[in-house]
Amino acid sequence: MTGGIEIQREGEICYSKPLHRALLRDARLSFGARGLFSFLWDLPTGWKTNSAHLALMSPKGRDAIRTLLRELEKVGAMRSEPIRNAKGRMAGKRWILVTPQLWAVASPLATRKVTSESTEGRNSRPSDNPKIGSSDTKVLQGDGVAFKSTTNQLDSEINDLVDAAIWAYKKSGNIIKSEGGLRRAIRTRIGSCPTGANQEDINTLVAWRNYIKIESEREVEKQILEAEMKAKEMKSLEITEDIERVLKYFESLSESKQKELLSEFEEHVFTSNTVVFTAFKKNGIKSKVVLVQFLMFIKNKQSC
């Protein structure tokens, strides 16, 4: 993508080389931050991206991505540097990703305390996610997505809920006078409510994530289509330049040679292409369909 932030790495690496295990077990980082680092580390050197682009590649919003990036910067996993041109002026920005061997700390796998509440009447096991809120955390369902609602929700989760609410507000045609103020109001409502996000919030979040996914797929399809169109334009330009060269060659011939060549071409298309033959009889070699065929005819004749 153009206008993005350049990716570089420090430390020995081969493309798609497995990461140091300490990264995956560094409890200072959320699972989201560990996954984001793994994704960035796997990108080719020099690749350009930014938080907005990463949000399109993920169900997370841009604010959530920025939160994860700050996590990584805090532990020394990455840093931001300016790119300067030959004159010393700013020409962009790059993210330097540092090999986990230099900063990652592998935490013990069994670190959670077993309480009487968690063991009473059932077997305890470590949670698949960081503990959010109290033990009576309410779990809301939305189209197969489970979401823990609590006053102690993670910032990244609240950021997603806020992004989804803003998206729904705009989609409904409402005019937002101050997006910052609306964001604060939504965040305050979710954070101050004893049950946290309600079912409507969750449904909106699911719809927003589906929208982001569809838009991401459309963006990929758009890029593919643009690449194909560019290739066709380049091919068309090459053919046009070739036709101009052939026409110059044809015009440089004597009148008798031109007539002889056209007579041979007429016999050729008569037996090989009825459409081109009809167009040739009607307008000579002026139409593009005839010119393309005439170009191929001349090339074949010159190669013999």
Tens-place pLDDT, residues 199-234: 888 888 888 888 888 887 787 777 777 766 766 666
CA-nearest of 133, 144, 131, 127 to 196 is 133
How do 90-98 and 5-10 pair as beta strands?
Answer: parallel
Question: Cα separations (Å) of 125 from 70, 115, 121, 190, 215?
Answer: 30, 11, 13, 29, 38
Strands of 5-10's sheet, edge to edge?
48-49, 5-10, 90-98, 78-84
Provide the CATH topology of domain 1-106. Answer: Arc Repressor Mutant, subunit A (1.10.10)
> What tokens were used for 80?
């931001």
Produce one character per residue of 38-65: b if its CB has 16 or more CB atoms within 10 Å, e if not.
eebbebeeeebbebebbbbebbbbbbbb
58 to 48, 51, 61, 291, 292: CA distances (angstroms): 16, 10, 8, 49, 47
Task: Report which of residues 115 and 300 the model is more confident about.
Answer: 300
Q: List, for residues 220-274, the tens digit of each pLDDT value.
A: 777 777 766 766 666 665 667 777 887 888 889 899 998 898 988 888 888 777 7
pLDDT on residue 227 = 65
**Three-state secondary structure string covering 31-65:** HHHHHHHHHHHHCCCCCEECHHHHHHCCCCCHHHH
**Residue 148 pLDDT:** 46
pLDDT of 169 over the 70 cut: yes
Q: Which pLDDT tens digit goes with each residue over 67-90? A: 999 999 999 999 988 888 888 787
Distance of alpha carbon 192 from alpha carbon 188, whole angstroms: 6
CATH 1.10.10 placement within the chain: 1-106
- 79: Cβ contacts below 8 Å, ≥ 6 apart: 73, 95, 96, 98
Taking the C-alpha atoms of residue 130 and residue 146, their distance in angstroms, rounded to an integer, is 15
pTM over 0.85: no
Region 22-32: what's the mean pLDDT? 91
Mean pLDDT of the chain: 75
Can you tell me which residue has the tokens 């081109």? 276
